[in-house]
């Protein structure tokens, strides 16, 4: 065997050690599946001499799960073979269930997805008491389902209601929570501790059975026939559809498998599970989500876009200029990771208001018991509010987060840059203004970089690193390391107006405004966006970011282009946004109302003026057509960013579009969406949209060439 070691001691204890040769982790390769069958056969052959079996790992983690690159190769016609393979593996697990001897897993590290299902194949589990260790079945986040007994066993161990967050939401848990849930039988400080507990358990349970194989077994909470359970299940499908709009088939398959499996015996339930997985894993949705959330995300985490040859860097002290919502959020992000931060504004009152905003960010954690007051106080003590630039002295990194006005940014840059430590980095949090232009105010443009955080900072995972024309590789490497140190996801883009995320985000909101200008009903526009999988409709989201800010960006663009001797022509939807602000005084939520009204104590509602001033009777628009326009407009702009070298990799295009602008996760990102549509089909559809709606949907030859070069 190449992935499993088997030995039987004189004490009657057999040890199965998962330890794939030459691999950093254990995964469910074809070789492992063959080795598993052989190991189980050896256990059965040694049964008369056996007192029990210990299942262990020769790696730093226990077991990593399925071989996901194989899933990307599957086609619809592979479903039947997939079903047979799943059933063969489960048959091995079932033979261990019914061995008549205790099987105990010793969990030295993480066991996720298929890895946790390997752990569940034992009658008992003991784990190291380490908060860094995670267990669980997060397959739904990859468009898959826990199909190697994970659903069937979790439901039978926890009950239908209690199992839902761990299966349908992919909630992970550590050893202590696993102990509280009854999924782990004990925790210990060392592997010797675990072995001692396991041997004691084996001695106490010489003919161990799984709970569902005992005659007195009852499902926790009851089966679907229980009136209370039935009442909850009646509304569950509707709630799921309302949340997912039918775009995430894995979540639906998990719910079906849970309920159908709970109505039948264990063996029938596992076959239902196998059939559901066989269908799901050959679908396009799984391919999209695996591509983005496993391969693309791991490419970023592994530093594929980080310049090589530079030592890992973490600033000891960071300065933040501007204590508004964004500046306070950035300061909180630093303090929450133990990085001391100076929060400066034009007055001590404003700086202290930003400090108080950090307290409000942490207050819910304290209220929920996830942070005690001592830790909150320690976090707040790491942030120094000030109005004195001298307090920035010695900062390794200073980030300006002031208003999007070129002159103001230049002023604060000149004032604060001299306070940097030797070789320190200056960054701008601008969301639209080219870094090259802002760097003109710097005495060291090679150490000037864009760090575009997203609001609210404490919830948004992405940070867009913008390389200016003179930004050197060491500065980019430092920025990359800093973003990772904050626990966030970095993407690196080249300088351009709006960079990548703001530029593409702008196409989304302006396409919604363009639809409104065409006379399409506002409720239909918002519904189509949500039905496509966008988290918020384009009219609602521009209200949150501020219509007046959009107008300000337009005016700054107009001024910049005029200075270059070029004219600026409003794009589709931009004229309507200007009218909203200048003619109707509707500047956005912060100003009291924009496309929506915000009555006190009531849900927001679309402004009645939209129907009065913009909606045109007789204008027909199908939801599918509107969905296509909103998704294609963003994908086309992303493709342009690739062709123009604003984006330099597909993995950053996909992750940036999902985490930065809310492009639907089911697509796998904007470029994976192109791939899933099929390139030729995408090009035809884009051409048709260009004919109907104009040049913003047109794909120029360089863009077509870039897409045809490859989407992976």
Any domain includes 698: yes
Angstrom CA distances, 590 to 108, 254, 452, 550, 605, stand at 51, 41, 21, 13, 15
| pLDDT, averaged across the chain | 95
Domain end point (choices 467, 497, 527): 497
Angstrom CA distances, 50 to 7, 12, 14, stand at 11, 5, 7
Question: For 635-651, how does the pLDDT look when each residue is reduced to its tens digit (9 = 90+)?
Answer: 999 999 999 999 999 99
- Mean pLDDT computed over 455-460: 94
What gap in Å lies between CA 217 and CA 215, rounded to an integer? 6
Any domain includes 63: yes
Any domain includes 670: no
Q: pLDDT tier at 569 (50, 70, 90 boundaries)?
A: confident
Does residue 571 share a domain with residue 436?
no
Q: Is the pLDDT of residue 675 over 70?
A: yes
- Mean pLDDT computed over 321-341: 97
Any domain includes 289: no
Does residue 452 share a domain with residue 411?
yes
Any domain includes 229: yes
The answer to whether the CB of 255 falls within 8 A of the CB of 240 is: yes
Q: How many domains does the chain have?
A: 3
Any domain includes 652: no
Does residue 682 share a domain with residue 597?
yes
CB burial of residue 228 (10 Å; 0-12, 13-18, 19+): exposed
What gap in Å lies between CA 545 and CA 660, rounded to an integer? 14
Tokens of 484: 């990772």
Q: Where are the beta strands (DSSP E) in 370-529?
A: 383-386, 395-400, 420-428, 448-453, 462-467, 489-494
Any domain includes 471: yes
Can you give the CATH number for the domain in which 461 is found? 3.40.50.720
21 conformational bin, left if phi > 0, alpha if psi -120 to 50, beta if neither = beta
Q: pLDDT tier at 560 (50, 70, 90 boundaries)?
A: confident
How high is the pLDDT of residue 196? 98
How high is the pLDDT of residue 568? 76
Q: Is the pLDDT of residue 609 over 80?
A: yes
Does residue 28 share a domain with residue 43?
yes
Question: Which residues form the domain of 399?
Answer: 317-497
How high is the pLDDT of residue 567? 81
Sign of CA dihedral 79, 81, 83, 86: negative
- Mean pLDDT computed over 326-339: 97
Domain end point (choices 472, 497, 522): 497
The answer to whether the CB of 387 falls within 8 A of the CB of 347 is: yes
Does residue 123 share a domain with residue 238?
yes
For a pLDDT cut of 70, what percent of the chain falls above it?
100
Does residue 580 share a domain with residue 490?
no
Residue holding tokens 């986040």?
Answer: 141
Q: Please state which of the ranges 111-120, 308-317, 580-589, 702-711 shows the lowest mean pLDDT.
A: 702-711
Can you give the CATH number for the domain in which 128 is found? 3.90.226.10
Does residue 254 share a domain with residue 170?
yes
What gap in Å lies between CA 652 and CA 399, rounded to an integer? 23
What gap in Å lies between CA 282 and CA 679, rounded to an integer? 20
SS3 of residue 582 by DSSP: helix
The answer to whether the CB of 483 falls within 8 A of the CB of 451 is: yes
How high is the pLDDT of residue 712? 57
Query: Which residues are bridge partners to 588 per DSSP?
Result: 593
Does residue 196 share a domain with residue 123?
yes
Q: Transcribe 241-284 into DSSP letters.
A: HHHHTT--HHHHHHHHHHHHHHTS-HHHHHHHHHHHHHHHTTSH
Q: With the CA atoms of 296, 298, 300 and 306 taken in that order, what torsion angle do they form, in degrees rounded to the nearest 10?
A: -130
Does residue 216 share a domain with residue 88?
yes
What gap in Å lies between CA 24 and CA 17, rounded to an integer? 14
Does residue 434 share a domain with residue 510?
no
Domain end point (choices 436, 464, 497): 497
Does residue 509 share a domain with residue 492?
no
How high is the pLDDT of residue 563? 84
How high is the pLDDT of residue 106? 98
Whose CA is closest to 429, among 464, 479, 459, 394?
464
Does residue 249 share a domain with residue 111?
yes
Any domain includes 656: no
- Mean pLDDT computed over 385-402: 97
- What is the b/e burial string over 517-547, where b = at least 16 CB atoms within 10 angstroms of the residue's CB? bbebbbebbbbbbebbbbebbbbbbbbebbb
């Amino acid at each position: 065997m190449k992935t499993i070691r088997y030995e039987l001691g004189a004490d009657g204890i057999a040890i199965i050690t998962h330890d794939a040769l030459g691999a950093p982790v254990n995964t469910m390769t074809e070789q492992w599946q063959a080795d598993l069958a052989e190991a189980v056969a050896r256990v059965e052959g040694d049964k008369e001499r056996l007192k029990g079996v210990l299942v262990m790992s020769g790696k730093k983690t226990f077991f990593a799960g399925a071989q996901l690159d194989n899933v990307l190769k599957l086609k619809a016609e592979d479903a039947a073979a997939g079903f047979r393979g799943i059933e063969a593996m489960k048959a091995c697990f079932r033979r261990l269930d019914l061995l008549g001897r205790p099987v105990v897993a010793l969990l030295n590290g993480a066991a996720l997805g298929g890895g946790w299902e390997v752990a569940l194949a034992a009658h008992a589990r003991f784990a190291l008491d380490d908060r860094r260790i995670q267990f669980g079945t997060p397959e739904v986040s990859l468009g898959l389902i826990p199909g190697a007994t994970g659903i069937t066993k979790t439901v039978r161990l926890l009950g239908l209601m209690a199992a839902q967050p761990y299966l349908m939401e992919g909630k992970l848990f550590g050893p202590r929570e696993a102990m509280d849930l009854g999924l782990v039988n004990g925790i210990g400080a060392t592997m010797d501790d675990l072995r001692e507990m396991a041997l004691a358990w084996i001695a106490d349970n010489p003919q161990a059975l799984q709970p569902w194989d005992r005659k007195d077994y009852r499902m926790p909470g009851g089966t679907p026939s229980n009136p209370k359970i039935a009442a909850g299940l009646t509304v569950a499908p509707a709630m799921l559809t309302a949340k997912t709009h039918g775009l995430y088939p894995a979540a639906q398959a998990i719910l079906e498998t849970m309920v159908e499996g709970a109505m039948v015996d264990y063996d029938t339930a596992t076959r239902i599970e196998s059939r559901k997985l066989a269908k799901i894993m050959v679908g396009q949705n799984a391919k999209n989500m695996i591509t983005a959330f496993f391969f693309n995300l791991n490419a970023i985490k592994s530093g594929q876009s980080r310049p090589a040859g530079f030592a890992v860097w973490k600033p000891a002290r960071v300065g933040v200029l501007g204590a508004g919502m964004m500046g306070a959020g950035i300061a909180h992000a630093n303090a929450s990771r133990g990085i001391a931060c100076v929060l400066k504004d034009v007055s001590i009152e404003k700086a202290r208001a930003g400090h108080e905003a950090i307290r409000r960010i942490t207050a819910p954690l304290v209220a929920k018991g996830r942070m005690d007051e001592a830790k909150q106080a320690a976090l707040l003590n790491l942030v120094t509010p000030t109005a004195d630039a001298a307090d920035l002295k010695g900062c390794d990194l200073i980030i300006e987060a002031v208003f999007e006005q070129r002159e103001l940014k230049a002023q604060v840059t000149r004032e604060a840059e001299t306070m940097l430590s030797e070789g320190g980095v200056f960054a701008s949090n601008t969301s639209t203004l080219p870094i090259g232009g802002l760097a003109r105010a710097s005495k060291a443009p090679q150490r000037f970089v864009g760090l575009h955080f997203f609001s609210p900072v404490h919830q948004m995972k992405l940070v867009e690193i913008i390389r200016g024309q003179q930004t050197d590789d060491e500065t980019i490497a430092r920025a990359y390391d800093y973003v990772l140190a904050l626990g966030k996801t970095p993407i690196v883009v080249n300088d351009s107006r709006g960079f990548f995320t703001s530029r593409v985000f702008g196409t989304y909101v302006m396409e919604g405004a363009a639809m409104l200008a065409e006379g399409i009903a506002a409720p239909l526009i918002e519904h189509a966006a949500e039905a496509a999988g966008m988290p918020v409709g384009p009219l609602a989201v521009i209200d949150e970011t501020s219509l007046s800010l959009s107008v300000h960006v337009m005016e700054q663009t107009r001024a910049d282009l005029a200075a270059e001797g070029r004219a600026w022509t409003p794009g589709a939807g931009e004229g309507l946004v200007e009218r909203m602000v200048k003619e109707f005084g509707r500047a956005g939520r912060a100003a009291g109302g924009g496309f929506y009204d915000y009555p006190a104590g009531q849900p927001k509602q679309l402004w009645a003026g939209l129907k009065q001033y913009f909606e045109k009777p007789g204008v027909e628009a199908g939801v599918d057509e509107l969905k296509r326009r909103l998704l294609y407009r963003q994908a086309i702009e992303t493709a342009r960013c690739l062709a123009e070298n604003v984006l330099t990799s597909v993995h950053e295009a996909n992750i940036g579009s999902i985490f930065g602008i809310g492009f639907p996760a089911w697509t796998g990102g904007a470029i994976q969406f192109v791939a899933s549509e099929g390139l030729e089909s995408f090009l035809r559809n884009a051409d048709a949209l260009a004919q109907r709606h104009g040049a913003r949907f047109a794909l120029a030859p360089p863009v077509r060439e870039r897409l045809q070069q490859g989407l992976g």
